Amino acid sequence: MKDRIRFNVGGKIFETTSTTLANAGRDTFFGAMFDDDWNLYSNYSGEYFIDRNPNCFGVLLDLLRTGELCIPPNVSEKLLYREAQFYGLTDHVRAAKWGPIDGNRLSLSRSIAGRAPGDGTAIRGGPDGGCCVAHGCMVHVYDWILDEHPPITLDYQIVNDVGWIDPENIVVSACERLGRGDGGMGLFNAENGELRHKFQISHENQIKSFTAGALSFSSSDSHIFSSCKGRSNEYGIGVWDSVTGKQIDFFYEPIGWSLGDADKLQWLNGSSCLLVATLFPRKDNCYISLLDLRVKRMVWSWSDIGAPVTVDGRRVRDAIAMEENGSICVVNEYEDLGFMDLRGSVGGGVRWSSRSRSRLMKGKMPDYEPCYPKLALHNGQLFSSMNDCISVFCGPDWMLTSRFRRSDGGSICDFSIGGDRLFALHSEENVFDVWETPPSQITL
Amino acid sequence: MSDQKRRNFQIEAFKHRVVVDPQYADKTWKILEHAIHEIYNHNASGLSFEELYRNAYNMVLHKFGEKLYSGLVLTMTTHLKEISKSVEAAHGGSFLEELNRKWADHNKALQMIRDILMYMDRTFVPSTHKTPVHDLGLNLWRDNVIHSSNIQTRLLNTILELILRERTGEVINRGLMRNIIEMLMDLGSTVYQEDFEKPFLEVSADFYRLESQQYIECCDCGDYLKKAERRLNEEIERVTHYLDAKSESKITNVVEKEMIANHMQRLVHMENSGLVNMLLDDKYEDLGRMYNLFRRVPNGLSTIRDVMTSHVRDTGKQLVTDPERVKDPVEFVQRLLDEKDKYDMIISLAFSNDKTFQNALNSSFEYFINLNARSPEFISLFVDDKLRKGLKDFSEEDVETVLDKVMMLFRYLQEKDVFEKYYKQHLAKRLLSGKTLSDEAERSLVVKLKTECGYQFTCKLEGMFTDMKTSQDTMQGFYASQGAEIGDGPALVVQVLTTGSWPTQPSPPCNLPNELSTLCEMFRSYYLGTHTGRRLSWQTNMGTADIKATFGKGQKHELNVSTYQMCVLMLFNNADRLTYKEIEQATEIPATDLKRCLQSLACVKGKNVLRKEPMSKDIGDNDAFLFHEKFTSKFYKVKIGTVVAQKESEPEKQETRQRVEEDRKPQIEAAIVRIMKSRKVLDHNNIITEVTKQLQSRFLPNPVEIKKRIESLIERDFLERDNADRKSYRYLA
H-helix segments, B90-132: 94-116, 118-119, 125-128
**Bond into B614 cis (ω within 30):** yes
Residue A153: pLDDT above 60? yes
Question: Are residues A36 and A121 part of one domain?
Answer: no
Question: Are residues A267 and A397 part of one domain?
Answer: yes
Q: Is residue A104 a contact partner of residue A427, using CB atoms and an 8 Å limit? A: no
Structural domain ending residue among the three candidates A58, A73, A97: A97
| Window A:177-196, CB contacts with B under 8 Å | 189, 191
Containing H/E element for B459? helix B455-486
Integer CA distances (angstroms), A365 to A38, A312, A383, in order: 64, 14, 22
- Cα–Cα dist A296/A136, whole Å: 34
CATH of the domain at A81: 3.30.710.10
Closest residue of A to B111, CA-based?
A: A32
pLDDT band, very low/low/confident/very high, at A369 (cuts 50, 70, 90): low
CATH of the domain at A149: 2.130.10.10
Rg (CA), chain B: 49
Question: Are residues A431 and A299 part of one domain?
Answer: yes
Question: Are residues A201 and A66 part of one domain?
Answer: no
User: For chain B, which residues score pLDDT lower than 70?
Assistant: 1-8, 10-20, 390-392, 484, 487-488, 505-506, 642-650
pLDDT band, very low/low/confident/very high, at A44 (cuts 50, 70, 90): low
CB contact under 8 A, B127 and A32: no
- Residue A349: inside a domain: yes
Integer CA distances (angstroms), B176 to A72, B95, B100, B108, B180, in order: 57, 11, 7, 18, 6
- Cα–Cα dist A144/B545, whole Å: 116
SS3 label, residue A89: coil
Residues in contact with B250: Cβ distance below 8 Å, sequence separation at least 6, in sequence order:
B197, B201
Integer CA distances (angstroms), B346 to A347, A369, B121, B284, B350, in order: 64, 90, 66, 6, 5
- Cα–Cα dist B345/B328, whole Å: 26
Contacts of B157-160 with CB under 8 Å at 24 or more apart are B158/B95, B158/B96, B159/B96, B159/B196, B159/B200, B160/B199, B160/B200, B160/B203
Buried b / exposed e over B285-311, threshold 16 CB at 10 Å, is ebbbbbbbbbebbeebbebbbebbbeb
Supply the pLDDT for residue B627: 81
Closest residue of B to A91, CA-based?
A: B122
Q: Which residues pair with A300 in a beta bridge?
A: A290
SS3 label, residue B523: helix
Question: Are residues A253 and A153 part of one domain?
Answer: yes
Q: Is residue A124 a contact partner of residue A130, using CB atoms and an 8 Å limit? A: no
Q: Which residues of B touch A85 (CB under 8 A)?
A: 119, 123
pLDDT band, very low/low/confident/very high, at A368 (cuts 50, 70, 90): low
- Residue A444: inside a domain: no
Helix axes B329-349, B300-321, angle to 10 degrees: 170
What is the maximal distance between C-alpha atoms in chain B? 192
Q: Is residue A122 a contact partner of residue A213, using CB atoms and an 8 Å limit? A: no
CB contact under 8 A, A43 and B54: no
- Cα–Cα dist B87/B589, whole Å: 113
Task: Express each pLDDT in B555-599 by its tens digit.
Answer: 788 888 888 888 888 888 877 788 888 888 888 888 777 887 888
- Cα–Cα dist A402/A101, whole Å: 13
Residue type, B333: V
CB contact under 8 A, B57 and A86: yes
- Residue A285: inside a domain: yes
Structural domain ending residue among the three candidates A97, A130, A156: A97
Helix axes B24-40, B65-89, angle to 10 degrees: 30
CB contact B118 to A (< 8 Å): yes
Integer CA distances (angstroms), A419 to A108, A152, A422, B183, B395, in order: 15, 21, 8, 38, 82
- Cα–Cα dist A363/B548, whole Å: 131
Question: Are residues A29 and A123 part of one domain?
Answer: no
- Residue A442: inside a domain: no
Question: Are residues A93 and A194 part of one domain?
Answer: no
Supply the pLDDT for residue B433: 75
Q: Is residue A224 a contact partner of residue A215, using CB atoms and an 8 Å limit? A: yes
Residue A349: pLDDT above 70? yes
- Cα–Cα dist B497/B530, whole Å: 16
Question: Are residues A93 and A173 part of one domain?
Answer: no
According to DSSP, residue B702 is labeled -
Supply the pLDDT for residue A356: 46
SS3 label, residue B409: helix
**Bond into A281 cis (ω within 30):** yes
Supply the pLDDT for residue A359: 47
- Residue A441: inside a domain: no
Q: How far is B66 from chain A (nearest CA, A)?
A: 15
Supply the pLDDT for residue B487: 67
Count of structural domains, chain A: 2
- Residue A38: inside a domain: yes
Question: Are residues A385 and A271 part of one domain?
Answer: yes
Task: Express each pLDDT in B71-118 by its tens digit.
Answer: 999 999 999 999 999 888 888 778 889 999 999 999 999 999 999 999
Residue type, B259: M
What's the domain range around A233?
107-436
How far from chain centre, in Å, is Cα B489?
63
Q: Is residue A24 a contact partner of residue A33, using CB atoms and an 8 Å limit? A: no
CB contact B31 to A (< 8 Å): no
Q: How far is A144 from chain B (nearest CA, A)?
A: 14
Contacts of A197-201 with CB under 8 Å at 24 or more apart are A197/A245, A199/A224, A199/A226, A199/A238, A199/A240, A199/A245, A199/A247, A200/A247, A201/A228, A201/A230, A201/A234, A201/A238, A201/A247, A201/A250
- Residue A345: inside a domain: yes
The interface predicted TM-score of the complex, written ipTM, equals 0.72
Supply the pLDDT for residue A363: 47
Supply the pLDDT for residue B649: 64
| Window A:157-176, CB contacts with B under 8 Å | 168
Closest CA to B308 of B262, B370, B363, B369: B363
CB contact under 8 A, A168 and B122: no
CB contact under 8 A, A51 and B54: yes
Over range A3-31, report the average pLDDT. Answer: 88
Residue type, B458: T
Q: Is residue B270 a contact partner of residue B282, using CB atoms and an 8 Å limit? A: no
Tell me the average pLDDT of chain A: 85
Residues in contact with A139: Cβ distance below 8 Å, sequence separation at least 6, in sequence order:
A132, A133, A151, A152, A153, A159, A162, A170, A172, A188
Supply the pLDDT for residue B15: 64
pLDDT band, very low/low/confident/very high, at A256 (cuts 50, 70, 90): confident
Question: Are residues A243 and A122 part of one domain?
Answer: yes
CB contact A86 to B (< 8 Å): yes
Supply the pLDDT for residue A1: 44
Residue A188: pLDDT above 90? yes
Q: Is residue B488 a contact partner of residue B519, using CB atoms and an 8 Å limit? A: no
Q: Give the number of A-B residue pairs with CB atoms closer than 8 Å.
A: 32
- Residue A10: inside a domain: yes
Buried b / exposed e over B586-599, threshold 16 CB at 10 Å, is bbebeeebbbbbbb
The DSSP result for A379-405, as a single string, is TTEEEEEETTEEEEEETTTTEEEEEEE
> Which carries the bigger pLDDT value, residue B595 or residue A307?
B595
B-interface mutation test, from A36, A47, A50, most B Cβ less than 10 A away: A50
Task: Find the distance separating the first CA and the last CA of chain B, reported in whole Å.
Answer: 140
Supply the pLDDT for residue B1: 47
Return the sign of the alpha-carbon dihedral for residues B187, B189, B194, B197. positive
- Cα–Cα dist A215/A360, whole Å: 35
Torsion of CA B391, B396, B398, B400, to 10 degrees: 100
Structural domain ending residue among the three candidates A73, A97, A121: A97
Q: Could you count the other beta carbons within 10 Å of the beta carbon of residue A251?
A: 22
Q: Around B103, how many Cα atoms within 13 Å sit in the side-chain half-sphere?
A: 22
Supply the pLDDT for residue B7: 64
Task: Express each pLDDT in B10-39 by its tens digit.
Answer: 666 666 666 667 788 888 999 999 999 999
Residue type, B645: A
- Cα–Cα dist B141/B105, whole Å: 12
A-interface mutation test, from B45, B53, B58, most A Cβ less than 10 A away: B53
CB contact B46 to A (< 8 Å): no
Question: Are residues A150 and A63 part of one domain?
Answer: no
Q: Around B694, how many Cα atoms within 13 Å sit in the side-chain half-sphere?
A: 18
> What global pTM score does this model have?
0.67
Closest residue of B to A168, CA-based?
A: B127
Q: Is residue A86 a contact partner of residue A45, using CB atoms and an 8 Å limit? A: no
Residue A99 backbone phi and psi in degrees, to 5: -100, -175
SS3 label, residue B716: coil
Torsion of CA B711, B714, B716, B719, to 10 degrees: 140
Task: Express each pLDDT in A79-136 by its tens digit.
Answer: 999 999 999 999 899 888 888 899 999 999 888 887 766 667 899 999 989 999 998 8
How far from chain centre, in Å, is Cα A41?
43
| Window B:388-427, CB contacts with A under 8 Å | none
Q: Which residues of A touch B53 (CB under 8 A)?
A: 29, 32
Q: Is residue A171 a contact partner of residue A185, using CB atoms and an 8 Å limit? A: yes
Supply the pLDDT for residue B200: 93
Question: Are residues A124 and A40 part of one domain?
Answer: no
